[in-house]
Structure 1
Amino acid sequence: MVQTPSKVPTLQDFLELPETKPASEYVNGKIIQKPIPKARHSRLQGKWVEIINEVVEKQCIAYAFPELRCTFGGRSIVPDIAVLRWERIEFDATGEPVDDVLMAPDWTIEILSPEQSSNQVTGNILHCLKHGCQLGWLIDPNDRSILSFLPNQQPELCQGSETLTVLDRVELTLTVKQVFSWLKMGQ
């Protein structure tokens, strides 16, 4: 029996497909569906979006978007949180943000799920940095650490009482311990 190779989808083919829940990403010619977020993931994601936007939105510094599709450099990815500097957010004539984001976020935050490959997620962060992103985080709820990535520097593993690096002009000082304390709800 002769097998014909299946057609490798192009980025344009992928972008024409209907959105999936949870989101799918296009990486290196492959379509990869992200895992469904679980409680700890959702809690950390929600708190980060809330806290970042509380600090930056009123001053028009930046905005943190949860699950925002960003298409650039031959990939289409959906970081758990994509922070864009205000001056890079494209608005339409009515003052609303344009839906299609065709650039890397300024700050990409990924929260590792048990079903995800840390190398694959790290690959997306590195891709963002290669295309203009200024800061990337890989948050690992299982070992209570945050791997921080800056352009042209070695990653830094942050744990415990270490203060986290944030995007320039964002006045936010938090330790890793404080971040993971958010998982203890109602306290």
Structure 2
Amino acid sequence: MTAITLNLNSIIQLTSEQFYQLCEEHPELKLERNANGELIVMPPTGGETGKRNLTAGAQLWIWNDRTELGEAFDSSTGFTLPKGADRSPDASWVEKSRWQALTPEQKDKFIPLCPDFVIDFLSPSDSLKKTQEKMQEYMDNGCRLGWLINRKKREVEIYRPGQAVEVLQSPLTLSGEDVLPGFVLNFKKNWN
């Protein structure tokens, strides 16, 4: 199964509120929306990808619970990015002061900001080019660090604002650098 992109703009241009309502009414669908307003319908992940998403997200949550530097989110969390896209990274993190600046209503719906940190796993159903474009979209919207993990190639692409993408082959660990001080993602279970 592959993701399907629907361009409904000639019929209707959904507002952020309408897109949120569409997602609420169809929780069985995993929907995103790019900055052009096109809907992206994504299939559920397979077992291996889901297991790795949870492993990485759990490590991020444990680090954040210990440091209390922000808030960690799972793959079900929607973010409305400043340039108009609605995205759901596999794992993400927002620095504490940015989270606290949101109103209770903003925290209850799709979060109206770009995460400071994102992880996306390349699923067998994902297009590498489209996932790379999505990672660049995060950077263009203010993300400070992003990791695109390609288990099949045992490769990680590291995205940083204003820098060329760094590609690592089979790393055993990844550092959260100055964005997530002290966070280290252990790949022991991700490459198996």
TM-score bracket for this pair, using the shorter chain length: 0.7 to 0.9
Instruction: Describe the shift of the 1:171–1:103 C-alpha distance in structure 2 as closer, same or farther (beyond 3 A).
Output: same
The CA deviation at 1:167 is: 4.7
What's 2:46 paired with?
38
So what's the TM-score if we normalise by structure 1? Answer: 0.81
The CA deviation at 1:144 is: 1.1
What's 1:133 paired with?
143
Check the 8 A contact 1:24/1:32 in 2, yes or no. Answer: yes
Check the 8 A contact 1:52/1:63 in 2, yes or no. Answer: no
Structure 1 residue runs of 4+, over 6 Å off? none
The answer to whether 1:20 aligns with 2:20 is no
What's 1:171 paired with?
182
- CA RMSD in angstroms comes to 2.5
So what's the TM-score if we normalise by structure 2? Answer: 0.80
The Cα offsets for residues 30-76 of structure 1, whole Å up to 9 and x where unpaired, read as: 10112211111111111111111211223211232112100021111
Q: Secondary structure at the match of 1:116?
A: coil
The CA deviation at 1:163 is: 4.7
The CA deviation at 1:173 is: 3.2
Check the 8 A contact 1:11/1:75 in 2, yes or no. Answer: no
Mind listing any 5+ residue stretches in structure 1 that lack a counterpart? Answer: none
The answer to whether 1:155 aligns with 2:160 is no
Mind listing any 5+ residue stretches in structure 2 that lack a counterpart? Answer: 1-8
The Cα offsets for residues 84-129 of structure 1, whole Å up to 9 and x where unpaired, read as: 1122224667xx9922210000011111111111222222221111
**Paired letter, 1:141:** R
**Paired letter, 1:26:** R
What's 2:14 paired with?
10
Aligned ranges for residues 47-66 of structure 1 at < 5 Å? 47-66=55-74
The CA deviation at 1:147 is: 0.6
Instruction: Describe the shift of the 1:156–1:15 C-alpha distance in structure 2 as closer, same or farther (beyond 3 A).
Output: same
Check the 8 A contact 2:156/2:170 in 1, yes or no. Answer: no
The CA deviation at 1:6 is: 4.4
Check the 8 A contact 1:8/1:29 in 2, yes or no. Answer: no
Aligned length: 175
Check the 8 A contact 2:80/2:114 in 1, yes or no. Answer: yes
What's 1:142 paired with?
152
Instruction: Describe the shift of the 1:24–1:48 C-alpha distance in structure 2 as closer, same or farther (beyond 3 A).
Output: same
How far apart, CA to CA, are the structure 2 residues paired with 1:116 and 1:11? 26
